[in-house]
Amino acid sequence: MHMNSSSRRPAGRRLPLWLILLLYTLVLALIGTAVFCAVMGRPGLTMMKAYLLAKFAFVEKDADLDSAVNQGLNSFVDGLGDRWSYFLDPSDLTATSERRANSYVGVGITVLQHSREDGLLVHAVSKGGPAEQAGIVPGDVITAIDGTPMTPDNQETATDRIRGEAGTSVTLTVLHADGTAEDIVCTRAKLHNASAMNLMLENNLGLVRLENFYSGAAASFKENVEALLAQSPEGLVIDVRSNPGGYVDELESILDYLLPEGPVFRMKPRWGMETVRESDADCIDLPMVVLVNADTYSAAELLAAQLRESVGAKIVGEVTSGKGYSQMTYSLPNGSGMGLSTAEYTTGGGHSLIGEGITPDVELEMDRSVPLMGEADTQLQAAEDLLLQQG
């Protein structure tokens, strides 16, 4: 009997496990590098190379690269060509976060910049705050801070100089309405901004002023409107002059509270579907007039536009800023922040304010030399006249 025996081939030499893992890692690294370069593109790689050259090739090895990076990021955001995007260095980011929480360290005053060449006009004073306790009242003019006279050129930084660490003091040179001047020392404290305030006007009209749309603004606004409703007003003036805007959630809550059933806000992000916010049937059934000025931004001008669109509310004041993009603030690894426009928003009916703002029914320039809501506030007087005509 003839038998066939199967022949065995000698096994080939297998690569060591460590070498396989190394090759696998190299392949992943190459793929990752290719993806990174594709995502970054030439502009991103250029910025990265510039930083590496400054770090390892620049002759001044102790150069302040943090400062250079912050200046570069600021220029980068400016280069986007978007009026509404911004860069915040670490200290600015901290201050902005506090402000948006409606808490800050200061003396408890709200001022109008560039209202007068010789100083800052005080148009509101926080109840119980250091300024009120020291005797500062609306209508006062701050002409110097810690001995440095106010000029048109340094007014932009005035609020930062008034603020500081809790427990420290600042000396404000104040010009009173009667023409007398005095140096008033205020001790800074951590304060909470109530966002809204109310006032019962003559002729049985209610006024509610909203300073911003930051944290807690909707609750503060509703509380103040309810306080007015308890006095049975025949009309309502809503003052959003010099209001910088704020959070979308706060805006939507206020729109829902004020307006009858229907769409009141639309937002379309770069990525994702458009969202539409609807108001329910509950509303404030009163004639309303909205006060605006050139410094009415974002959520504030959208509020005015939607009140006009939904219930025919009249608007008094100046043409508003024309903002129609919302921003997200992103924290960066060095402690700074970048605010980028990430979505476009419109009224419930789809009207965009971008580039045009709101043209008031009664155009009237704001007199920045007088306190808001005072007897000489001609815009407020015009709003009252409109409500009385509707009545």
Q: How far apart are the first and last CA of the chain?
A: 122
Task: Give the lowest-confidence range in 16-20, 112-116, 196-200.
Answer: 112-116
User: Does 265 have pLDDT greater than 90?
Assistant: yes
User: Does 41 have pLDDT greater than 60?
Assistant: yes
For residue 356, what is the domain's CATH number? Answer: 3.90.226.10
Sign of CA dihedral 144, 146, 147, 148: negative
Q: 228 in a domain, yes or no?
A: yes
If asked whether residues 179 and 132 sit together in one domain, one would say yes
For residue 114, what is the domain's CATH number? Answer: 2.30.42.10
**pLDDT at residue 240 in the model:** 96
**pLDDT at residue 211 in the model:** 92
User: What does pLDDT average to over the chain?
Assistant: 88
Q: In terms of residue numbers, what domain contains 340?
A: 196-390
Q: 42 in a domain, yes or no?
A: no
- Please identify, among 141, 173, 192, the residue that sits at the C-terminal boundary of a domain: 192
Q: Which residue has the tokens 């703002």?
A: 357
> Would you state the structure tokens that stand for residue 217, as one six-digit string?
């603004």
If asked whether residues 200 and 188 sit together in one domain, one would say no
**pLDDT at residue 113 in the model:** 64
Region 378-386: mean pLDDT is: 93
If asked whether residues 210 and 339 sit together in one domain, one would say yes
Q: 265 in a domain, yes or no?
A: yes
User: Of 74, 115, 117, 110, nearest to 93 (Cα)?
Assistant: 74
If asked whether residues 218 and 153 sit together in one domain, one would say no
Residue 389's H or E segment, with its range, is helix 378-390
What pairing do the DSSP bridges indicate for beta strands 141-145 and 148-149? antiparallel
Sign of CA dihedral 188, 190, 195, 199: negative
**pLDDT at residue 11 in the model:** 54
Task: Give the lowest-confidence range in 27-41, 50-64, 334-348.
Answer: 27-41
Top-confidence residue, 2 or 149:
149
Q: What is the pTM of this model?
A: 0.78
Q: What percent of the chain has pLDDT over 70?
A: 95
- Please identify, among 192, 227, 245, the residue that sits at the C-terminal boundary of a domain: 192
If asked whether residues 187 and 236 sit together in one domain, one would say no
Q: 45 in a domain, yes or no?
A: no
**pLDDT at residue 94 in the model:** 87
Q: 116 in a domain, yes or no?
A: yes
Q: How many beta carbons lie within 10 A of that of residue 295, not counting itself?
A: 18
E-assigned strand segments in the chain: 86-88, 103-106, 109-116, 119-125, 141-145, 148-149, 169-175, 181-187, 189-192, 196-201, 205-210, 236-239, 262-269, 275-279, 288-292, 314-317, 325-331, 337-346, 362-363
Region 3-9: mean pLDDT is: 47
Say which residues have a Cβ less than 8 Å from residue 234's Cβ, sequence separation at least 6.
203, 204, 205, 286, 287, 387, 391
Q: In total, how many domains does the chain have?
A: 2
If asked whether residues 143 and 222 sit together in one domain, one would say no
Task: Tell me how far CA of residue 151 lies from CA of 144, 159, 286, 299, 366, in angstroms.
Answer: 9, 13, 44, 31, 21
**pLDDT at residue 390 in the model:** 80
If asked whether residues 292 and 376 sit together in one domain, one would say yes
User: Does 120 have pLDDT greater than 80?
Assistant: yes
The C-alpha torsion from 322 through 325 and 328 to 330, rounded to 10°, is -80
User: Does 44 have pLDDT greater than 90?
Assistant: no
pLDDT of 165-220, one tens digit each?
889 999 999 989 888 999 999 999 888 878 899 999 988 999 999 999 999 999 99
**pLDDT at residue 32 in the model:** 75
**pLDDT at residue 1 in the model:** 40
